[in-house]
Amino acid sequence: MKILICGDVVGKTGRQAIDRHLPDIRQRLDLDFVIVNGENAAHGFGLTDKICEAFYAAGADVVTTGNHVWDQREIIKYIDGDPKLLRPMNFPEGTPGAGTGIYEGPKGKKVMVIHPMGRLFMDPLDDPFAAVEEALANQRMGHTVAAIIVDFHGEATSEKQAMGHFLDGRVSAVVGTHTHVPTADAQILPGGTAFQTDLGMTGDYDSVIGMKKELATSRFTTKMPQGRLEPAEGEATLCGVYVETDNGSGLATYVCPLRVGGRLKEQWPL
């Protein structure tokens, strides 16, 4: 299978990049499945039902989120009715929505998406490693599902790398989101799982992690109360990772970062 996972969409310019580039990318790479992390899509904080629908129209099959999932309160009532929208799986029991899903891919092939959130320097949540282990208990690639993709939303590179090794050989790919800076470590781990510590953001890189640089910088230089951060408004770079999986085992056979538009150097799979 040919799968694309796109990093955190930030603000209007990030949404425009998805709308502008994703349909062409999907066609050009003949993609079977697309995941978009949309947790910063609504002016940098959360997302809405209309934004989800726009992502689906552009070619996303699943939308993941993270610690900003509830920032737009209207999503609380919406999320239970949209199985393609995932919130972190290790939120407390009774939280609206779901953190995993199994979706119909091409020719009846099923793709499982698992969406844990880290605990280092993040909100105190249930153990993400135990939560993923439980989700995988009755699933096996090449049998119950064709591929398993893990979007691990976390701050610490160590925690995300540990999750990659913890799941190596049992899932197709583990990718990190949240820090908004793409890491240069895309690789296939020894057991056959594709990995990248962080996908980076789909947003304007003439910024501080997607936010207007002047206000964000003044928070560090003055230590005085500031207004709410606002997304930068320049052209966004769509950042993500492209993964190919073996049709039999579900393990990765190829992985490559993908960057299109904006300030960062463009990169396409070979």
H helix runs in the chain, sequence order:
11-28, 49-58, 74-78, 128-136, 157-167, 213-222
**Domain total of the chain:** 1
Q: Any idea which of 39-43, 171-175, 177-181, 223-227 has the lowest mean pLDDT?
A: 223-227
CA triplet 81, 83, 88: central angle to 5 degrees?
110
For the beta carbon of residue 264, count every other beta carbon within 10 angstroms: 16
* CATH number of the domain within which 48 lies: 3.60.21.10
Q: Is the pTM of this model over 0.95?
A: yes
The answer to whether position 141 is within a domain reads yes
Expressed as residue numbers, the domain containing 207 is 2-260
The active-site residue, picked from 21, 43, 68, 143, is: 68
Structure tokens at 187: 């690789």
The answer to whether position 267 is within a domain reads no
Reduced to 3 states (helix: H, G, I; strand: E, B; else coil), residue 98 is: strand
pLDDT band per the 50, 70, 90 thresholds, residue 8: very high
Q: Is pLDDT above 80 for 260?
A: yes
The answer to whether position 270 is within a domain reads no
Q: Residue 5: what are its φ and ψ, rounded to 5°?
A: -120, 125
Q: Is 225 exposed, middle or buried (0-12, 13-18, 19+ CB in 10 A)?
A: exposed
The answer to whether position 268 is within a domain reads no
Q: How high is the pLDDT of residue 224? A: 83
Average predicted confidence (pLDDT) for the chain: 97
Amino acid 202 reads: T
Longest dimension (CA), the chain: 57
User: What pLDDT digit, counting tens, does each position of 105-160 carry?
Assistant: 888 899 999 999 999 999 999 999 999 999 999 999 999 999 999 999 999 999 99
The answer to whether position 111 is within a domain reads yes
Amino acid 230 reads: E
Please say whether the beta carbons of 203 and 14 come within 8 A. Answer: yes
For the beta carbon of residue 172, count every other beta carbon within 10 angstroms: 29
The answer to whether position 266 is within a domain reads no
Q: Residue 2: what are its φ and ψ, rounded to 5°?
A: -110, 115
The residues, ordered by sequence, that sit 6+ positions from 234 with a Cβ below 8 Å of its Cβ are 13, 204, 206, 207, 262, 263
CA neighbor of 22 nearest in space, from 199, 240, 189: 240
Q: Is pLDDT above 90 for 228?
A: no
The answer to whether position 265 is within a domain reads no
CA triplet 156, 158, 161: central angle to 5 degrees?
115
The residues, ordered by sequence, that sit 6+ positions from 166 with a Cβ below 8 Å of its Cβ are 129, 132
The answer to whether position 133 is within a domain reads yes
Active site residue 21: no
User: What pLDDT digit, counting tens, does each position of 211-224 carry?
Assistant: 999 999 998 999 88
